[in-house]
Amino acid sequence: MSLASRHRTRLVGLGLSALFVVLAGKAGYLAMSADRSSSGLSRLTAENVRRADIVDRNGEQLATSVSVYSLVANPQLIWDPQEVATRLSGVLPDIDVADLTKRLSDQSREFVWVERGLTPRQRQTVFDLGLEGLRFEEEISRAYPRGTLAGQVLGYVNVDGVGAGGIEYSQNERLAAGGEPLRLTIDNGVQAAVEAELAASAALDGFEGAAVILMEARTGEIRAMASWPPFNPNRSPDISMADPSRLNRATGAVYELGSVFKPLTVAAALEAGAIRPTDMFDVRTPIEMKGYTISDLHPIGTRADVTKIIAESSNIGTVHINEKLGPRRQQDFLKTAGLLDRSPVELAGSAAPILPEHMDDLTAATMAYGHGIAVTPMAFLSAFAAFANGGERVAPTLIFDETRKPKPVRVMSAITADLVNAMMREAVLTGTGKNAEVAGYRVAGKTGTAEKPVPGGYDDGRNISSFAAIFPYDSPQYAMIVTLDDPKAGPGGSVASQNAAPTAGRIIERVAPLLGIAPRFEDFRPAGDAYRSGDERTSL
């Protein structure tokens, strides 16, 4: 062989060797790479903007984004799909071997999700299997470091990182754009205290569900919003869509809230000049109306002034007051109070009220004491908070914005608000709200117990119990509602005075110091005989 031939043979051999090295490297590259930055999905992941964090009003973290790895496969590079699926199932027990085998057998595909969100240990174990046609893709996953804290408020994201509930959904565009954390009005410490007391109440009262909202009346900022049962957004993929923990009962459930409506009825009548605080009403005789009887659970048995009607929660007295007001002015007041519309809070699941199909004297009468109209606790609290803000209501908000300037709506005069506040203070001192009193923090409020509606009527064995409060009474700053869905009957029965009221008292006692409210122990009892009652009995 000539020298030239030998050189040609050597060059061909070197070329073939180089080609083998390239092909071998390419095969190893395709087989499995923990850092395949040139793959299509990896490029997309790198280019995606990291979802913004969610923090509380003090900057404490509520939701953040973390890097995780997911396992994907290229069926065109897999020799034995069943073997690969079987061996993976030994490491990832959630895998359906038959389903994965079928998907890995589809040679028309180059990309198949196998498992998303692997733990570091799972990732390493799969890597050590050395199976062909697999690789890991780095993704961004959402994490909620405080577990169930404000779970329904925060919501969750779907498997693709898109908001699918709560703030994650309603503010998805803002969060997906990345940048500075989204700051909520919620205070983590206050929220934790509210949730802890709600959990304690659940153990004591055994209710089906519950909601608590605490709002700063002047700004509309929500300091705490809790719903029971609690929801952990970290576990969202494993929680059934029908699970009751997914429902934010504060904004997504409507209830007939009962007698917490009575202060609003009284305020409407006072504001219209239909009654005076000292007017007396005969509450001894039940009212017959269109075949229905309106009575009091625990009759007062005498004539009563407006304060006593509020303190002792008289249905009969409230209906007499509403008759003076009239249906038209009643509806105008409820509309101004925002109770005929859904709450504008920044949650997409805010439910619309359920109103009577036909307005007549009977529906006007029952609405006066909170029956026949179903609203969310959030919508009700927005109206009720006007008592703590000189008669003006502001739209509630969960988004902290120092530049926000609330646009108040005048619901009643400041004088009317003060008059009704004095009546509600008496309800806590001597009436149905006594179990909500907290030494030093001067609570004013109203109980509400309503039978749960069922097809064809109401279930007299199941109640919605609520307590609506403002505090401190002498210088109102905060409004709160506690709503318990079907609490069990305790020693005092399943009425609000025995469950919702004491729950509210325990919450206020715990959160007032966190809100910077100093206790004062002077006697702030309303002045004047018109606001006093010697009757120590509790009722509805």
Q: Among all residues, which ones are annotated catalytic? A: 259
Separation in Å, CA 238 to CA 94, 113, 118, 159, 234? 12, 18, 15, 12, 9
**Strand, coil or helix: what is 82?**
helix
Distance CA 386, CA 367 (A): 19
Can you say whether the dihedral through the CA atoms of 476, 434, 484, 366 is positive or negative?
Answer: negative
Q: What b-and-e string marks burial along 455-477, b requiring 16 or more CB atoms within 10 Å of the CB? A: eeeeeeebbbbbbbbbbbbeebb
Task: Evaluate the CA torsion angle 390, 395, 399, 400 in order and state its sign.
Answer: negative
DSSP code of residue 163: E
Return the H-helix or E-strand segment holding 381: helix 377-384
Q: Evaluate the CA torsion angle 56, 227, 464, 396 in order and state its sign.
A: positive
Q: What angle do CA 201, 517, 212 make, to 5 degrees?
A: 30
Residue 258 contacts residue 448 (beta carbons within 8 Å) = yes
Q: Which residues, at least 6 apart from 327, have a Cβ–Cβ distance to it below 8 Å?
A: 359, 360, 361, 364
Phi (first) and psi of residue 475, to 5 degrees: -150, 75
How far apart, in whole angstroms, are the C-alpha atoms of residue 356 and residue 433?
29
